[in-house]
Amino acid sequence: MLHFSHNAFYLGALIFLAISLSNFIYVWLCKIWKVKITEFSIFLNPGFSILKRNINSTIYQLGWLPIGAYIKPLGMLKEDLGSIAIEELPFSFLNKSRTKQLFLGLIPSVVWLLALLLSLCTLKGPGNILQATAEMLSYILVAIKTMFGLSAANELVMRTTNMLIDKNIISFALTLLISIFLVLTSLSKIMSIYSRDEKNINWLIKLPGFIVIILGVYLTFWKIPSFVFSFFSFNQNVSYILSFILGLYLIGSLAFILTIILVKLKN
């Protein structure tokens, strides 16, 4: 029998709150630096969108796949510049300074690092942030060893039980999720560099990138999920996943509605 998991629901809600915060900061900076946004999407939308609105030449979309959100500024890629009208070139992303481009690109990572810091603070208090960080790094190292069969699973279970004594399980889980996200994000950045089809790059230089791509896909879609799910029953996994997704959908939908209301109020 499936049961609603409040912890998984809160975790999903907090994750998408961080995503929404990074999106709103991105939009705010684009407005200050006069960068035109062509697409604003809450959730991904392969194939179709649940809701789609075109307001002032910006497409606002509520997708159906709750694994992220994205904002597409005008002239994000060099290939796009040829199709942009001359009068709109000053409002393109690539027309801005490299410092501004870099800063916009770093916004999600900065927000996630802030969320990670807050999560660590709640585990042991602001005064013991270094101790909480050391404990989590030690715990993650044991988890990695267990994942690859270098340590017994019962040791990880024991460590988890001890780690959760007098701690907020939501903050604990959020810390782990954000840590994994930041590692996978770093891998994806490397993947994007090596995935560029540039003829002047030797295949020996590209080889490490291909290895990173394979490793990233393996960890993201198989090793980490199968490892985490192995500690719970099938019903528990289904309950946690559905509750987590419900939390994502609720905050994502509210963020989309709030965005549309704010945009229309400014018109």
In eight-state DSSP terms, residue 79 is G
Give me the pLDDT at residue 245, please.
93
What ranges in 125-202 are assigned the alpha helix state H?
A: 129-147, 153-163, 169-194
The pLDDT of residue 87 is above 90:
no
Question: What is the amino acid identity at position 139?
Answer: Y
* C-alpha to C-alpha distance for 226 and 218, rounded to whole angstroms: 11
The band of 194, judged by pLDDT with boundaries at 50, 70 and 90, is: low
* C-alpha to C-alpha distance for 61 and 71, rounded to whole angstroms: 10
Give me the pLDDT at residue 17, please.
92
**Mean pLDDT (the chain, rounded):** 84
Within 10 angstroms of residue 12's Cβ, the number of other Cβ atoms is 26
The pLDDT of residue 243 is above 90:
yes
The band of 11, judged by pLDDT with boundaries at 50, 70 and 90, is: very high
The pLDDT of residue 153 is above 70:
yes
Cα-Cα-Cα-Cα torsion 10, 180, 30, 102, nearest 10 degrees, comes to 160
Question: For 250-264, how does the pLDDT look when each residue is reduced to its tens digit (9 = 90+)?
Answer: 999 999 999 999 888
Q: pTM here?
A: 0.83
- Among 3, 8, 25, 52, CA closest to 250: 8
Domain ranges in the chain are: 6-35+97-266
The band of 220, judged by pLDDT with boundaries at 50, 70 and 90, is: confident
Task: Identify the bridge partners of residue 55 per DSSP, sorted by sequence position.
Answer: 58
Task: Identify the bridge partners of residue 65 per DSSP, sorted by sequence position.
Answer: 44
Give me the pLDDT at residue 29, please.
92
